[in-house]
Structure 1
Amino acid sequence: MLLRDILSEDDPQVESVARLIARATPDVIALQGIDYDHDLISARALVRRISAHGHDLPHVFALRPNTGMTTGLDLDGDGRKGRPKDAQGYGTFAGQGGMAVLSRFPVVTEDVRDFSDILWRDMPEALLRLEDGTTLLPDRVKKVQHLSTVGHWVVPVRIEDQTLRLLTFHASPPVFDGPEDRNGRRNHDEIVFWLKYLDGAFGARPQPPFVLAGDANLDPIDGAGRKAAIRRLLADDRMVDPKPMRPAGVAQGNGHDGDPRLDTVDWPGPDPGSLRVSYVLPSADLEVLKAGIVTDATNRSVEDASRHGLVWVDLLLK
């Protein structure tokens, strides 16, 4: 499951988020857009609010994200260092808009794999070569620039006598750049990373069962971005796309070609408008019982909590 845009505990938005998650009653939830602090104070505060609404998620996991992490370089060329656009991932402070995993079941922390510090240049077939043959990143940037905007984690969760691996990430939006398409290229490579990981390019391949759950910031049909990345991911036969949908009659078309029932976020129109950017993709061995997207038509608190719907999938471990 996915949710974004969580603020401090005393913000009314947190109460909306907590109420929404409690009503959804997830066993495991991958949160996107939650600020990170070293002692996980923010995440644990949210867990307390969820518990107050009747659902316990006692196991909390998070790592420092790349957002706001200094590079020591002037990445945006404005003549100044230490600005949000000079960080590994855009952030006005270290840890802004990170990720967290909340679970009813224990996280096997000693087996977590964190790929967030992999350099972009070390990504196989990275899109760092421009059409004119020049390189996208200067050598000084290549030496420090991470692939992950926020992070790429593999988080094992122990469910009775089985281990389910949660693959989670939050890719860069493929906009807010220039004709070189820096963010679009990074978004592409952040998504394709998972295919390379499943191929064994970054060590041992993950053993099923696993679930890839994250914000790809890319719609396979509509909006900006290099569509080949998400289309390859959705077509990979090692995973299934349960195609979670909004309740019938909720979504409205915005001139796009994709099925609006699949859209997971409602940005102001006409551009970009509603898009499908968040995904929960179980490994092919798992049985999908049902799936959906919680939106403000079924739970008003979504509108207060986030413009992103909460994507959920019910699975049966075999």
Structure 2
Amino acid sequence: MRRLLATALAAAMVVGPATQAAAHDRRDLRVATYNLSLNRPAQGLLREHLANPGVDDVYRRQAKNVAEVIQRAHPDIVLLNEFDYDPVAAGLFADNFLAVSQNGAPAQRYPYRFVAPSNTGIASGFDLNNNGVTDTTPGDQAYGDDSYGFGLFPGQYGMAVYSKYPIDAKAVRTFQLFKWKDMPGNLMPTEFYSPEEQAVLRLSSKSHWDVPVRVRGRTLHFLVSHPTPPTFDGPEDRNGRRNHDEIRFWADYVTPGKRSAYIYDDKGRRGGLRPGQDFVIAGDQNADPLDGDSYDGAINQLLGHPLINTRVTPSSAGAAEAAALQGGANATHEGNPRYDTADFADTAPGNLRADYVLPRKGLKATGSGVFWPVQADPLSRLSGVYDPVWAPVNGFPTSDHRLVWLDLRSF
């Protein structure tokens, strides 16, 4: 504990993440991922909240807070995880929150957006949690368990991509319907799922998207997803195994040739990226390279990939400080707490590195960071600590995850 605290205090002396994020060379492209917990407990609530920003309640305050985080980090392209699927809501967040200065932060305008359906909350018609009942009534835990991806209603915990540069909408590829069984050598626990269930199960708990963005005459493939947490299951480890294979999907996709030949998108087009195409993999991968409950070092499929640049690891002084102050499970971690991106407090699994922005090898990273200010920084009000006041929105003034960003000089 003393070692962790000393590390955190020393780290607090360096430039904080908010200050780092303000330094953005115009020649660089800032790419980010942010699990901002804008999911809501019922369908349509997110749209309602974002349509009426003047109402003063915990939901609008949280939306303004996450908008301020994005404004202060000002990414050019950003993936939003846990944003309920609703194209109208995506527009409302851009217009009513991001394009309006929050607490003096510079307004950010994202004229290009991409949203698509998510597997979350879509009834499978099967008893996927093996409790003896097939639940087809939205709104409860059992329904979520029996859906293709956990959600209380269709699209809960979805995704959205916002960009300041044009998105080539016609060239977007989605993989929502790709079946888990069609991944060679998959880790599906076949002793847990019936043959009928194995035949229909989808790999992605939300979806996987390849979103091509045109930046200064070049195309960047923004590869985004949000694998299921490797928990909330039993000894069969069905979620841990699925998380592993959801991460593996991108490792295969960026590898041209035989390794990605099995992949097909929702329009039937087969294969992965062509050789030499630029990409960034982004998202809440729900996997830490050293700590937590991942199956067989799942994230190392990307961190050790020969085509992925991992020379720069986003970090923050606030994460190191939090791990030292919270202690508990954090004191037993093997990983450097500066790299943590999610605040799961002192109980198992503790704080983790869960969120990633991983560019192709050859793309030069000129800067990076995790928006996690130290407590002495006035902007720490945006990350905060768990407080029951914020219980309706996951217990934090923004989210239990932090925005992660990376600057690329090649663009």
Q: Same fold (TM over 0.5)?
A: yes
- Report which stretch shifted further, 261-270 or 220-229: 220-229
The Cα shift of 1:94 comes to: 0.3
Number of the residue aligned with 2:371:
294
Q: Residue 229 of structure 1 aligns to a residue in which SS?
A: coil
Identical counterparts, % of pairs: 38
Q: How far, CA to CA, are the matches of 2:279 and 2:254 in structure 1?
A: 11
- Alignment map for 1:56-67 (pairs within 5 Å): 56-67=109-120
Q: How far, CA to CA, are the matches of 1:291 and 1:113 in structure 2?
A: 27
Given that residues 218 and 227 in structure 1 are in contact (C-alpha distance below 8 angstroms), is that contact kept between their aligned partners in structure 2? no
Given that residues 221 and 227 in structure 1 are in contact (C-alpha distance below 8 angstroms), is that contact kept between their aligned partners in structure 2? no
- Alignment map for 1:70-109 (pairs within 5 Å): 70-78=123-131, 79-82=133-136, 83-109=143-169
Residue of 164, 168, 174 corresponding to 2:220: 164
Q: How far, CA to CA, are the matches of 1:85 and 1:95 in structure 2?
A: 14
TM-score scaled by length of structure 1: 0.94
Asked if residue 41 in structure 1 is aligned to residue 88 in structure 2, the reply is yes
Q: How far, CA to CA, are the matches of 1:154 and 1:16 in structure 2?
A: 28
Q: How far, CA to CA, are the matches of 1:314 and 1:189 in structure 2?
A: 28
Aligned letter for 1:70?
A: A
The Cα shift of 1:302 comes to: 2.9
Q: Residue 155 of structure 2 aligns to a residue in which SS?
A: coil
Higher relative contact order (CA 8 A, sep 6+): 2
TM-score scaled by length of structure 2: 0.73
Aligned letter for 1:106?
A: P
Number of the residue aligned with 2:182:
122
- Alignment map for 1:1-318 (pairs within 5 Å): 1-4=32-35, 5-7=37-39, 8=46, 9=50, 10=53, 11=59, 12-37=61-86, 40-48=87-95, 49-53=97-101, 54-78=107-131, 79-82=133-136, 83-128=143-188, 135-199=191-255, 200-201=260-261, 202=263, 203-206=271-274, 207-241=276-310, 242-247=312-317, 250-253=321-324, 254-255=330-331, 256-297=333-374, 298=377, 299=379, 300-303=381-384, 304-317=397-410
Given that residues 317 and 373 in structure 2 are in contact (C-alpha distance below 8 angstroms), is that contact kept between their aligned partners in structure 1? no
Aligned letter for 2:98?
A: I
Whichever structure has more strand as a proportion of its residues is 1
Q: How far, CA to CA, are the matches of 1:124 and 1:316 in structure 2?
A: 36
The Cα shift of 1:36 comes to: 0.5
Aligned letter for 1:180?
A: E
The Cα shift of 1:138 comes to: 1.2
Q: Number of residue pairs matched?
A: 312
Q: How far, CA to CA, are the matches of 1:153 and 1:257 in structure 2?
A: 32
CA displacement 1:66-98 (0-9 Å, x = unmatched): 100111112123313221111000000000010
Q: How far, CA to CA, are the matches of 2:129 and 2:145 in structure 1?
A: 6
Q: How far, CA to CA, are the matches of 2:279 and 2:245 in structure 1?
A: 21
Q: Residue 200 of structure 2 aligns to a residue in which SS?
A: coil
RMSD: 1.6
Aligned letter for 2:195?
A: D
- Mark the runs of 5 or more structure 1 residues left unpaired by the alignment: none
Q: How far, CA to CA, are the matches of 2:194 and 2:285 in structure 1?
A: 26
Given that residues 35 and 95 in structure 1 are in contact (C-alpha distance below 8 angstroms), is that contact kept between their aligned partners in structure 2? yes
Q: How far, CA to CA, are the matches of 2:171 and 2:70 in structure 1?
A: 27
- Mark the runs of 5 or more structure 2 residues left unpaired by the alignment: 1-31, 40-45, 54-58, 102-106, 137-142, 264-270, 325-329, 385-396
Given that residues 244 and 311 in structure 1 are in contact (C-alpha distance below 8 angstroms), is that contact kept between their aligned partners in structure 2? yes
Specify the structure having the higher radius of gyration (Cα): 2
